[in-house]
Amino acid sequence: MAYGSIEGQKRLQDYVNRFIDALTSQNGTQLSALLAITSSPFRDAVGSALDLVKDPSRIIKQVDKHAPLGEMLGHHIRCMQAYRHRRYLDAYNSLEKSAKYPSYADREMANNGKVPDKLKGAGSFLMKVFGALAGKGPKRVGALYVTCQLFKVYFKLGTVHLCRSVIRSIETARVFDFEEFPTRDKVTYMYYTGRLEVFNDNFIQADKKLWYALGHCDPSKDANIRMILKYLVPVKLSLGILPNEWLLRKYHIMEYNDIVQALRRGDIRLLRYALQANEDQFLRSGVYLVLEKLELQVYQRLMKKIHLIQKQKDPSKAHQIKMDSILKALKWLQIDMDIDEVECIMATLIHKNLMRGYLSHKSKVVVLSKQDPFPLLSGKPCA
């Protein structure tokens, strides 16, 4: 091992030991000095140590034995290093690596009976930073990164409507050229704006944005791909495109498997079971209502199956499906419905162009079109 590396490890170990001592003794003054960036006696020592040490994680992780602050400290000392070298954008990126630390603080404040306001404060601070970066000049390249951090804060606070003003600034301002931003920031931006389109039931735009995020995401980052697919899969299902099971299994999103199978089989009972079994998860993700609307597609698939059976039995009357046949199929699936409810569903399928034909109320028969009675969605949502 080179002498410089050993010396760097010694300096970093000394800094971490001081940090742990200040933490365990609850010495706020010492902690403040250790974490100071612009006027710190430790900044240059830590920064130069990191220049020599390739992987400081083993030393930093010692902090986690006393408090879960190792990851935070790791970002913080990277900020010190970048600031020492006058790489101010990197310094900011390290310090604001994620929006989870203010949320941790809010959780602690709520547990102590105080009003949580740190995450909201972080959002206000980031908005000021965005304003400073939104002008002309090379620093504007950092604006998309700050925008993504704002999205994280707004999503956590449940104030996603605030994203709109930031999106308008990015997409309409002449000083921004989207393609000049770093790829990782473009992927994150498209992921969040795609989620917003999902919440607004704008599935075609959601598909474009999330597909862009997936296509440009680092293929080695399975966790990021999984996050994108959690929203892209429901969007694709709404557009009539079903994923293969291997994809769901590979990225650990098997909660969608029963829903996909229900769509393939026309099994309304399986769809309802899948929604109930994963209700909490789907509600947290904000996709429950999207998936619930897939019922019509499942009914369409069921009608296709009934039509095929009718065609085999009596080809001359394949386009005439009695209400009794539909009721029997639903009863076999343990779905209890009366004939009026079935007529309502059939009328809705025809209205949504999921089924071509007409309903004969008097004869209690669905008369299907002899040409293409079940049109494909062709990438357009049915509702």
| pLDDT value at residue 344 | 92
Q: How many CA atoms lie within 13 Å of 139's alpha carbon, on the beta-carbon side?
A: 12
User: How is 181-212 classified by DSSP, letter by letter?
Assistant: S-HHHHHHHHHHHHHHHHHTT-HHHHHHHHHH
Question: Are 321 and 255 contacting, i.e. CB atoms less than 8 angstroms apart?
Answer: no
| Alpha helix segments (H runs only) across 266-294 | 268-277, 279-285, 288-292
The H or E element containing residue 359 is: strand 357-360
Taking CA atoms, 308 is separated from 166, 167, 243, in Å, by: 52, 49, 24
Q: How far apart (Å, rounded) are the C-alpha atoms in residues 92 and 76?
A: 10
Query: And the tokens for 317?
Result: 């009357």
| pLDDT value at residue 99 | 40
Amino acid identity of residue 81, one-letter, is Q
| pLDDT value at residue 112 | 58
**Which residues lie across from 360 on neighbouring strands?**
365
Q: How far apart (Å, rounded) are the C-alpha atoms in residues 50 and 11?
A: 9
- For the chain, 383 residues long, the average pLDDT of each consecutive 10-residue run is 68 87 80 72 81 82 76 80 77 58 53 56 62 62 79 80 80 70 90 93 94 95 95 95 94 96 94 95 92 93 90 83 89 89 90 89 87 75 51
365-368: strand order across its sheet:
320-322, 365-368, 357-360
| pLDDT value at residue 239 | 92
- Judge residue 363's burial from the number of C-beta atoms within 10 Å of its C-beta, 0-12 exposed, 13-18 middle, 19 or more buried: exposed
* Closest alpha carbon to 170 in 191, 148, 187: 148
| pLDDT value at residue 171 | 74
* Closest alpha carbon to 279 in 269, 270, 289: 289
| pLDDT value at residue 290 | 93
Question: Are 218 and 224 contacting, i.e. CB atoms less than 8 angstroms apart?
Answer: yes
Task: Count helices and strands (H / E) in the chain.
Answer: 21, 3
| pLDDT value at residue 70 | 76
| pLDDT value at residue 137 | 60
Domains of the chain: 1-97 (no CATH), 242-284 (no CATH), 301-368 (1.10.10.10)
CA torsion through residues 282, 283, 287, 292, sign: positive
Taking CA atoms, 183 is separated from 6, 76, 190, 218, 287, in Å, by: 36, 24, 11, 9, 27
